[in-house]
Amino acid sequence: MNIDRSFLANTILSFLIVITAVVLWINGEKRIDAYISLYTLEYIIIKVTLRPKKIIRDFIAIILIVSFIFFISIRIAEVLGIRILKLLP
């Protein structure tokens, strides 16, 4: 029995995203940056380890990495005492 890498990657990623969402929700996490950061890490780890077939350029990974860098930059600035966006809690 030979399982396609893309099918396996999508199945594992779906499972991890659901588990992450449930665990963060149970813990009362309300910040969207926590969700997106963990989803980004899961997506990139699955892509690197399983290497599913690429049909086109992976725009999802690019968008996730840019958003991850954005949210991490805001948190680092917050730790340093710099308030970048007044909209974020």
In-domain check, residue 75: yes
Q: pTM score, two decimals?
A: 0.75
Helix axes 59-79, 32-50, angle to 10 degrees: 130
Residue 86 is assigned to a structural domain of this protein:
no
Is residue 58 included in any domain, yes or no? yes
Report the C-alpha gap between 88 and 60 in whole angstroms: 24
Please state the domain count of the chain: 1
* Whole-angstrom distance, CA of residue 26 vs CA of residue 84: 29
Q: Is 84 inside any structural domain?
A: no
With a CB cutoff of 8 Å and minimum separation 6, the contacts of 79 are none
Rounded CA-CA distance 56/79 in Å is 38
Separation of CA 21 from chain center: 11
**For residue 60, is it within any domain?**
yes
Per-residue pLDDT tens over the stretch 35-56: 999 999 999 999 888 877 777 7
Residues of the domain holding 60: 5-79
69 located within any domain: yes
Q: Over its length of 89 residues, how does the chain's per-residue pLDDT go in tens digits? A: 567 888 888 899 999 999 999 999 999 999 888 899 999 999 999 988 887 777 778 888 889 899 989 888 888 888 888 777 665 55
- 52 assigned to some structural domain: yes
Q: What is the pLDDT of residue 61?
A: 85
3-state secondary structure of 51: coil
Q: Is residue 16 one of the residues assigned to a domain?
A: yes
